[in-house]
Structure 1
Amino acid sequence: MDNINLQLEELNDKPDIRELTLRNGIYYPSDEELIMLILGRGTRKNPIELLSQEVIDMLNASNDENLIQNLVSIEGVGTSRALVIAAALELGRRRNSYQKKTVNKPSDIVPYVQHYSLKPTEHFVTATVNGAHELIKIRLISVGTTNRTLVHPREIFAGAVSEHASGIICCHNHPYGKCSPSHADVESTKVLQQAAGILGITFMDHIIITKNDYFSFLEHDML
């Protein structure tokens, strides 16, 4: 009896996947554990560990056309959970659709950051590329006010350095008015270009976007 109680205490003391993910980051969980986070709990007949493995197996055996139908067939999933899983997969696909896309000119990056033009405040974003100009990551750096966002070169280049990026593209939206650069935009671009040169990273462009247009420092010979 003492051994059983001891095992139960150790099990209860063991951090669950939510705690471990909060502690180590979203890249920590396995695929099965990500499904556990999405589902939250299992059922009396189908514990969360087994349920998540069944979901992974079904994902591997399904196409987009029959995914939801197949997920619903798993005991303990149901229509609502099947839709949540399918929605999570689709959101992940959309958010990472840019990976390995090649950037040869400023307009190539615009479709992947255009949604920021709908934001009511300024958002400053960076896009990093490898030596083949393939997109590595698009990262939100800062959120500001309706006409200003404060960023520091340290924050802007931290990701590029850790990813061993060959080049970087900076981008921010103008929520109101034209997409032409302000005096502050011009001055900050000069600073960022100098910082990139020191770090050995190519400063490829600074792009300003609005709902209907974009401005490229490179296209306007301002780099």
Structure 2
Amino acid sequence: MKIKELPDFDRPREKLEKLGPKALSNLELIAVLLGKGTRAKDVYQLSKEVLECVENDFEKLNFTTLMRINGLGKTHACQILAAFELSQRYLFQDGIKIQNASDVYKLASDLKEKKQEYFVTLTLDGAARLIQKRVVFIGTLNQSLVHPREVFADAIADRAAGVICVHNHPSGNIQPSREDIAVTKKLVEAGKIIGIRIMDHVIIGKTTYFSFQAGGLLNNGEH
């Protein structure tokens, strides 16, 4: 049934207004996000295709994937991704404590299948609870590209006590390169000046990880 054929009380927006979001199905929630369909597709039909895309592989959901849905459009794709990202950030933020590199590996497991290198920061409060997870840089790690200001600007805004750096090696080899070590040393020294500690730098591989802290490389950046 098309949305226009539904009685007012059973339309997603009206239902949300009267009963709250928990009363809506996943399809209806997406329909609220989209607002309207196109000439060719009713909002329910479009929402159904979005929902199938989400359910098939939520972890790999991105702008390119959503744009494959005929009629969705850039604005709707951005609205969906923004809504999902915001909800995930608050879910991640709720009491997650980072106790070791294994916790980091679980939290950054989405990096395992990336074809490019992603440099991510986890900002932490004084009790080692996660404040925020952010992508800082995409591409091969390089001292001139990963600058301390990009890493610490958000940490300062978060009033973070510490930062954990994370990046992936698409090759699967988790051993740190000379550039990895140089970048880490630079960030550690900058952190000492700013007063925000680099707690660890974790390299994510296909099935395992490498921790600079556990490997004894965090203080001086040398083997």
- Quickly name the TM-score band, shorter chain normalised: 0.5 to 0.7
Hey, what does 1:218 align to over in structure 2?
Answer: 213
**Structure 1 unmatched runs, 5+:** 1-41
Letter in 1 for 2:206: K
What is the rounded CA distance, in whole Å, between the counterparts of 1:136 and 1:122 in structure 2?
A: 23
TM-score of the superposed pair, with normalisation by structure 1: 0.65
Instruction: Note if contact 2:122-2:134 (Cα within 8 Å) is conserved in structure 1.
Output: yes
**Equivalent of residue 92 in structure 2, options 91, 94, 98:** 98
What is the rounded CA distance, in whole Å, between the counterparts of 2:88 and 2:203 in structure 1?
A: 22
What is the rounded CA distance, in whole Å, between the counterparts of 2:22 and 2:151 in structure 1?
A: 41
What is the rounded CA distance, in whole Å, between the counterparts of 2:156 and 2:29 in structure 1?
A: 41
1:197 lines up with 2:163 in the alignment: no
Given the superposition, is the C-alpha separation of residues 57 and 175 from structure 1 closer, same or farther in structure 2, using an over 3 Å criterion? Answer: farther
**Equivalent of residue 164 in structure 2, options 169, 175, 178:** 169
Q: Secondary structure, in 3 states, of the residue corresponding to 2:173?
A: coil
1:141 lines up with 2:136 in the alignment: yes
Instruction: Note if contact 1:209-1:215 (Cα within 8 Å) is conserved in structure 2.
Output: yes
What is the rounded CA distance, in whole Å, between the counterparts of 2:49 and 2:20 in structure 1?
A: 13
**Structure 2 unmatched runs, 5+:** 33-41, 55-79, 219-223
Letter in 2 for 1:67: S
What is the rounded CA distance, in whole Å, between the counterparts of 2:163 and 2:117 in structure 1?
A: 19
Kindly report which structure 2 residues correspond to 1:1-223, keeping only aligned pairs within 5 A, or say none.
Answer: 52=13, 54-62=15-23, 67-68=25-26, 78=44, 80-81=46-47, 84=50, 91-92=84-85, 93-94=87-88, 96-99=90-93, 100-145=95-140, 150-223=145-218
TM-score of the superposed pair, with normalisation by structure 2: 0.65
Calculate the aligned-residue CA RMSD, in Å. Answer: 3.8
TM-superposed CA distance for 1:124, in Å, is 0.4
TM-superposed CA distance for 1:101, in Å, is 0.2
CA displacement, residues 135-190 of structure 1 (integer Å, 9 cap, x when unaligned): 01000000114x76831111111100001001100011111141010111111111
Q: Secondary structure, in 3 states, of the residue corresponding to 1:141?
A: strand
**Greater Rg over alpha carbons, structure:** 1
Q: Which runs of 4+ in 1 moved over 6 A?
A: 42-47, 69-72
Letter in 1 for 2:153: A
Aligned length: 176
What is the rounded CA distance, in whole Å, between the counterparts of 1:71 and 1:185 in structure 2?
A: 43
TM-superposed CA distance for 1:81, in Å, is 3.3
